[in-house]
Structure 1
Amino acid sequence: MAEPQNKQQAEYTEDSIRSLDWREHIRLRPGMYIGKLGDGAAPDDGIYVLVKEVMDNCIDEHTMGHGKVIDLALDGKTVTIRDYGRGIPLGKLVDVVSKINTGAKYDSKAFQKSVGLNGVGTKAVNALSSYFKVQSVRDGKLKVAEFEKGDLIKEHKEVSTDEPNGTLVSFVADDTIFRNYHYIYEYIDNQLWNYCYLNAGLIINFNNKKYVSKNGLLDLLRRKANEDELRYPIIHLKGEDIEIAVTHNNDYGEDIFSFVNGQYTTQGGTHQQAFREGFVKTLREFFKKDYDAADIRQSIVAAVSVRVQEPVFESQTKTKLGSQYVFEGGPSMKNFVGDFLSKELDNFLHRNPQVAEALKKRIEQSEKERKELSGIRKLANERAKKANLHNKKLRDCRFHYNDEPTGKDKEAVLEKQKGTTIFITEGDSASGSITKARQVESQAVFSLRGKPLNCFGLTKKVVYENEEFNLLQHALNIEDGLEGLRYNKVVIATDADVDGMHIRLLLMTFFLQFFPDLVKKGHVYILETPLFRVRNKQTTHYCYDEAEKQVAIKKLGGKPEITRFKGLGEISPDEFERFISADMRLQPVILEQGEHIQQLLEYYMGKNTMDRQEFIINNLRVELDLIEENSAAAEATATAAAGK
């Protein structure tokens, strides 16, 4: 007979029902509003979404014809954004940033094709900030309101001012929600350039740097691609509510940047798929030949921007468009983009036969390379399938990034999928420690035999001929592109010594040479592990550099025990667990704006040149210099800490 339930568990009364106010709900479930939290290491971490939510409002004002300049300042953790639009109506200033479903964007006449339509954006920023200030200027009147974690702490009276119209928002993201966060300037830089490419003539000032674009998506491709490596000049097409720029280079993969109403849709969506299909269809019809779609899109670099009335996104963070139609009762997205390409691209190619011929040669080169690879690819894949049955190199996890979420709690499954990680390690000892310490549900380990091949300048044939590369490609499931990627984060975990650094470079060369999208889409990271352990009988500190070590020694006093970790294999599984869990330190591998892959690889991984030798000589620093410099920094930090 079953035991009676605990009385407290069994009771289900009116008191069991609880209503959360807007602020509590956002703080309790931040992922519903801004996606993942993160510490700033990934471009889609929440702190950048907060910046974007405020910027989107400024962009919407600009799109409606109000304000040509936006000022953005980042000082430590304080973000301040000022536009010169119409300003929030002063009587509704507090409501607009603290009442859900309050805003002007429900009236499609006022904001026909804006990004934020749900009245949540600035409320989420407010609720998730330890301090939030909003200021509005309208026609000589200024009003300010200040909040802490969404709670109004001071509403200032209206005053007269000579300032121009517009809205200012200043906030500090709450470090109890975004733990150990820091901003990476390259991510913000990339975000701001995208705003400018999509709004030709808009000026953004960020910490004394000016961002402006005159030619829209044409400028974007000029910046993203090395013009010396382009197979033909960039094709730039513009129509009502659509703009496309496209070319081909010599890199592997597809590089497509897609936007909706000024929003960078990092995960694509219906508009990006419509472009991929429409581009293939138009070229097949123009050349009157049924080319393979993969051959047409191989090495493509393109940017697609559409304006949609009341867009539907697949998440609050608006990274993937779900809209099937351009507007209610209008054409489907597929027909809208496809018809534009079949007319404008076809006309362009007829008017520019030299471009058409260069495009045809690029397609046929891809076709030739694919056919040359087909034989060796088949044999290599058969070997890989056999190896996968007993693949000692891969310790897999249960969830994968490309799995279709099933079951009742899909949100929880999706969160686990976002956290899926594969650690690429060197040697059995390091692999053993990580394997024992990892989270089996979401963390996998791939063990390298030693230093991989330097594949710069080699063709993709080497990916299939080299067993280790082929097995790694299969483990990641990226042979045919990123759609099937099995892990959201690809983490290079090597020793912090010369050999470890060399292996990092060789792996990054492999990814940049053959799978550049993996890096460009922000999936590749370097694992940072501590160099020192400083402890006494009561306390243990793990230190990532000499400066942290000196601070730890000062804190503990006396003569603490100091251990220098020479390799990952020396760190016990129990210790390793803390370094690959929630507080894991990851350094993202970032391609800066304007950097071109082949030039980069040629410089660092090509044959020795005088330029590289000069670079090494000029940047060579002996260990003694570093120790003295770090010791001075540690002394200053320790003194400041003692003062507090």
Structure 2
Amino acid sequence: MAEAKEKNMFDYTEDSIRSLDWKEHIRLRPGMYIGKLGDGSSPDDGIYVLIKEVLDNCIDEHTMGYGKQIEIKIDDKSVTIRDYGRGIPLGKVVDVVSKINTGAKYDSKAFQKSVGLNGVGTKAVNALSNYFRVQSVRDGKTKVAEFEKGNLKKEHKETATDEANGTLVTFIPDDTVFKNFHFIHEYLDSQLWNYCYLNAGLIINFNGKKYVSKNGLLDLLQRKTNEDEIRYPIVHLKGEDIELAFTHNNDYGEDLYSFVNGQYTTQGGTHQQAFREAFVKVVRDFYKKDYDAADIRGSICAAISVRVQEPVFESQTKTKLGSLNVYENGPSMKNFVLEFLARELDNFLHRNATIAEALKKRIEQSERERKELAGIKKLANERAKKANLHNKKLRDCKVHLNDEPPAKNKEEFIALQNNSTIFITEGDSASGSITKARSVDTQAVFSLRGKPLNCFGLTKKIVYENEEFNLLQHALNIEDGMDGLRYNRIVIATDADVDGMHIRLLLMTFFLQFFPDLVKRGHVYILETPLFRVRNKQETIYCYDETEKKAAVKKLGSKPEITRFKGLGEISPKEFEAFITEDGIKLQPVILEQGDHIQALLEYFMGKNTQERQEFIINNLKIELDLIEEAV
């Protein structure tokens, strides 16, 4: 035994040390470069980060004053992006997309306030693509290079051209890395609008659709709010390296959009926190009253954009700003934002008495609502605390989104956090199957007793009075905002029948009414499970719709056995496991499209406009002839 230990110790030699080249490292550890992988069903999945990395370079060119137009085309799984900037210097076309630590952004004079400073972005896209082609056009000459998974396959010679200067990149993501991926155009739509809001005058053409903004963040908030529901006209303030727009509405929570150097920081950061604190201080000073911070920020809808010299982000995907200073040896982010608001917002409120009065009324309304809730909230929280000790509704998992990652194996732990999921199921049979099949590390199950309450038009008081809603709120840990959210994905798992659809609607109403940020930030999904099982003695095929069923029947031939699953409880735990593993799970994201307004949507679908809804259903009713033929 002692000899074996001694031998193992001496096995650690020079041969044990392995150096990876740039593309091997990116392919081995893609999460370090593009965050989570995913199949495209989540807005922060890697395939969207690949597009963003290429677009960021185009935006940086535009910011420097070169190129007012960007063209994007997505054809199935192939992405092509063309800008009209200066073009990559022809002698460096290969190096810029295939050599780490190569790029213009190390020269602060060339890219003072760039998004990407480490020159990794396009290299990651190259390494993670089955096919990658880059073409630069510069002063009447052009050069092309083609790669496969980061390996140079062909470097073309320089040729003459009459095309306009710029860079054209085409890539096809590697389907062995991004399994079963697909692009959801609504996510890209939101991403492209954000680029335009932050770069007034920039024109983006995406698959024939034109995106352009004249008024920056003012346009953004106009699309994110409903004119009939905001409490006062949108306030739009601009200064050197900072832009701000805000208003208050009747939604719950805080709706904040923050940007750095044209980059949408979905997880906020120092600039967003600086705005939250500065806004409270300036409002208190203006009204000379010590309002509660939650009352001042409650129901706010705001967007803030800052330009920072050499920004520091907390990850390569640049979703959270870590910079403490705006410029080298310049003001802290906190002081920079505070000084701007103390000057501009204070002046604005003094000059616009009507808006100042409307803001005051909104704050005092939030204050009254909070005090009215205080009593029932205390009782409800005590009940929830007792229930949590023996909560039969929640079968929890081990890893949560809000856990502090350990120093060791941090990257692997964060990957598990990104997969943290809670399934909301109807009844014991469905929850039983999921509970037995789930991963206890990352998948939790919350079981509903039956149909939840239609909470449209009700106040937040009902969240505490209704035991099921209160327990769900505590399971998610969202009572005091999204910062403590315990699961990255909230998955509604109901039967694909009329009752199941109704429960989906009721749950989505609950989230949109009281916790809209869950939907706006892309945390809510619908679980897709197979409707049919088609099998013979050799093969079993699970089908999610009629088209897939027909194809399976045709493939297997000779009258295979067909089973129609009426509910989740009919699928055995062993079968269910294949439908909720990370490789096999199919999720349909709940998406609010640009211009959708929550209260108007809820009023239409869940309000009392019965006749209007009835007419819509009659006019849009589709009869599935195939189902009728089967029944006959």
Give me the TM-score of the superposition, normalised by structure 2.
0.98
Counterpart position of 2:547: 547
Question: 2:276 is aligned with what amino acid?
Answer: R
Q: Report whether the alignment pairs 1:514 with 2:520.
A: no
Displacement of 1:287 in angstroms is: 0.3
Counterpart position of 1:624: 625
Taking the aligned partners of 1:535 and 1:388, their CA distance within structure 2 comes to 43
Displacement of 1:476 in angstroms is: 0.4
- CA RMSD after TM alignment: 1.3
Describe how 1:146-225 pairs up with structure 2 within 5 A: 146-225=146-225
Displacement of 1:356 in angstroms is: 0.2
Secondary structure, in 3 states, of the residue corresponding to 1:504? helix
Secondary structure, in 3 states, of the residue corresponding to 1:486? coil
Asked if 2 retains the 8 angstrom alpha-carbon contact of 1:295 and 1:364, the reply is: yes
Asked if 2 retains the 8 angstrom alpha-carbon contact of 1:197 and 1:217, the reply is: yes
Counterpart position of 1:327: 327
CA deviation string 1:331-367 (max 9, x = no partner): 1000000111111000000000100000000000000
Displacement of 1:623 in angstroms is: 3.3
Secondary structure, in 3 states, of the residue corresponding to 1:44? coil
Range with bigger deviation, 95-104 or 549-558: 549-558
CA deviation string 1:439-492 (max 9, x = no partner): 111110000000000010111111111110011001001011101101110000
Asked if 2 retains the 8 angstrom alpha-carbon contact of 1:33 and 1:317, the reply is: yes
CA distance change for structure 1 residues 9 and 76 in 2, over 3 Å: closer, same or farther? farther
Q: Report whether the alignment pairs 1:592 with 2:597.
A: no
CA distance change for structure 1 residues 627 and 259 in 2, over 3 Å: closer, same or farther? farther
Displacement of 1:406 in angstroms is: 2.2
Displacement of 1:307 in angstroms is: 0.3
Counterpart position of 2:106: 106
Taking the aligned partners of 2:542 and 2:521, their CA distance within structure 1 comes to 31
Question: 1:96 is aligned with what amino acid?
Answer: V
Asked if 2 retains the 8 angstrom alpha-carbon contact of 1:427 and 1:450, the reply is: yes
Taking the aligned partners of 2:133 and 2:99, their CA distance within structure 1 comes to 15
Counterpart position of 2:605: 604
Asked if 2 retains the 8 angstrom alpha-carbon contact of 1:136 and 1:144, the reply is: yes
Give runs of ≥4 in structure 1 deviating > 4 Å: 5-10, 625-629
Counterpart position of 2:96: 96
Taking the aligned partners of 2:288 and 2:615, their CA distance within structure 1 comes to 53
Secondary structure, in 3 states, of the residue corresponding to 1:105? helix
Question: 1:524 is aligned with what amino acid?
Answer: V
Counterpart position of 2:227: 227
CA deviation string 1:251-281 (max 9, x = no partner): 0010000000000000000000000000000
Describe how 1:282-293 pairs up with structure 2 within 5 A: 282-293=282-293
Taking the aligned partners of 2:617 and 2:8, their CA distance within structure 1 comes to 69
Question: 1:490 is aligned with what amino acid?
Answer: I
Counterpart position of 1:127: 127
Counterpart position of 1:12: 12
Secondary structure, in 3 states, of the residue corresponding to 2:243? strand
Taking the aligned partners of 1:138 and 1:478, their CA distance within structure 2 comes to 52
Question: Aligned residue pairs: how many?
Answer: 629
Counterpart position of 2:21: 21
Secondary structure, in 3 states, of the residue corresponding to 1:350? helix
Question: 1:610 is aligned with what amino acid?
Answer: Q
CA distance change for structure 1 residues 627 and 594 in 2, over 3 Å: closer, same or farther? farther
Asked if 2 retains the 8 angstrom alpha-carbon contact of 1:133 and 1:170, the reply is: yes
Question: 1:494 is aligned with what amino acid?
Answer: T
CA deviation string 1:290-348 (max 9, x = no partner): 00000000000000000000000000000000000111211100000011111100000
Taking the aligned partners of 2:360 and 2:14, their CA distance within structure 1 comes to 71
Taking the aligned partners of 2:221 and 2:91, their CA distance within structure 1 comes to 44
Question: 1:400 is aligned with what amino acid?
Answer: H
Taking the aligned partners of 1:83 and 1:406, their CA distance within structure 2 comes to 42
Describe how 1:502-581 pairs up with structure 2 within 5 A: 502-581=502-581
Asked if 2 retains the 8 angstrom alpha-carbon contact of 1:553 and 1:560, the reply is: yes
Displacement of 1:48 in angstroms is: 0.2
Displacement of 1:625 in angstroms is: 5.2
CA deviation string 1:502-533 (max 9, x = no partner): 00000000000000000000000000001111
Taking the aligned partners of 2:233 and 2:517, their CA distance within structure 1 comes to 22
Taking the aligned partners of 1:114 and 1:189, their CA distance within structure 2 comes to 23
Secondary structure, in 3 states, of the residue corresponding to 2:12? coil
Describe how 1:102-501 pairs up with structure 2 within 5 A: 102-501=102-501
Secondary structure, in 3 states, of the residue corresponding to 1:192? helix
Displacement of 1:556 in angstroms is: 1.6
Asked if 2 retains the 8 angstrom alpha-carbon contact of 1:546 and 1:627, the reply is: no
Taking the aligned partners of 1:459 and 1:15, their CA distance within structure 2 comes to 66
Question: 1:617 is aligned with what amino acid?
Answer: I
Taking the aligned partners of 1:154 and 1:413, their CA distance within structure 2 comes to 39
Secondary structure, in 3 states, of the residue corresponding to 2:444? strand
Taking the aligned partners of 1:380 and 1:65, their CA distance within structure 2 comes to 57
Asked if 1 retains the 8 angstrom alpha-carbon contact of 2:32 and 2:411, the reply is: no
Question: 1:65 is aligned with what amino acid?
Answer: G
Displacement of 1:620 in angstroms is: 1.2
Secondary structure, in 3 states, of the residue corresponding to 1:413? helix
CA distance change for structure 1 residues 524 and 350 in 2, over 3 Å: closer, same or farther? same
CA deviation string 1:558-588 (max 9, x = no partner): 2222111110001111111111102200000
Secondary structure, in 3 states, of the residue corresponding to 1:363? helix
Secondary structure, in 3 states, of the residue corresponding to 2:104? coil
Taking the aligned partners of 1:409 and 1:503, their CA distance within structure 2 comes to 40
Displacement of 1:622 in angstroms is: 2.4
Question: 2:614 is aligned with what amino acid?
Answer: Q
Taking the aligned partners of 2:162 and 2:428, their CA distance within structure 1 comes to 68
Displacement of 1:547 in angstroms is: 1.0
CA distance change for structure 1 residues 399 and 285 in 2, over 3 Å: closer, same or farther? same
Range with bigger deviation, 406-415 or 502-511: 406-415
Secondary structure, in 3 states, of the residue corresponding to 1:201? coil
Question: 2:14 is aligned with what amino acid?
Answer: E
Range with bigger deviation, 1-10 or 291-300: 1-10
CA distance change for structure 1 residues 182 and 626 in 2, over 3 Å: closer, same or farther? farther
Displacement of 1:611 in angstroms is: 2.5
CA deviation string 1:196-223 (max 9, x = no partner): 0000000000111100000000000000
Taking the aligned partners of 1:2 and 1:253, their CA distance within structure 2 comes to 63
Secondary structure, in 3 states, of the residue corresponding to 2:309? coil
CA distance change for structure 1 residues 443 and 265 in 2, over 3 Å: closer, same or farther? same
Taking the aligned partners of 2:141 and 2:622, their CA distance within structure 1 comes to 57
CA distance change for structure 1 residues 551 and 480 in 2, over 3 Å: closer, same or farther? same
CA distance change for structure 1 residues 436 and 208 in 2, over 3 Å: closer, same or farther? same
Taking the aligned partners of 1:412 and 1:144, their CA distance within structure 2 comes to 37
Displacement of 1:119 in angstroms is: 0.8
Taking the aligned partners of 1:606 and 1:444, their CA distance within structure 2 comes to 32
Taking the aligned partners of 1:446 and 1:287, their CA distance within structure 2 comes to 45
Asked if 2 retains the 8 angstrom alpha-carbon contact of 1:78 and 1:171, the reply is: yes
Taking the aligned partners of 1:352 and 1:360, their CA distance within structure 2 comes to 13
Counterpart position of 1:615: 616
Taking the aligned partners of 1:576 and 1:38, their CA distance within structure 2 comes to 20
Question: 2:89 is aligned with what amino acid?
Answer: P
Displacement of 1:6 in angstroms is: 10
Secondary structure, in 3 states, of the residue corresponding to 1:32? helix
Taking the aligned partners of 2:623 and 2:81, their CA distance within structure 1 comes to 43
Counterpart position of 1:636: none
Give me the TM-score of the superposition, normalised by structure 1.
0.96
Question: 1:343 is aligned with what amino acid?
Answer: R
Displacement of 1:619 in angstroms is: 1.7
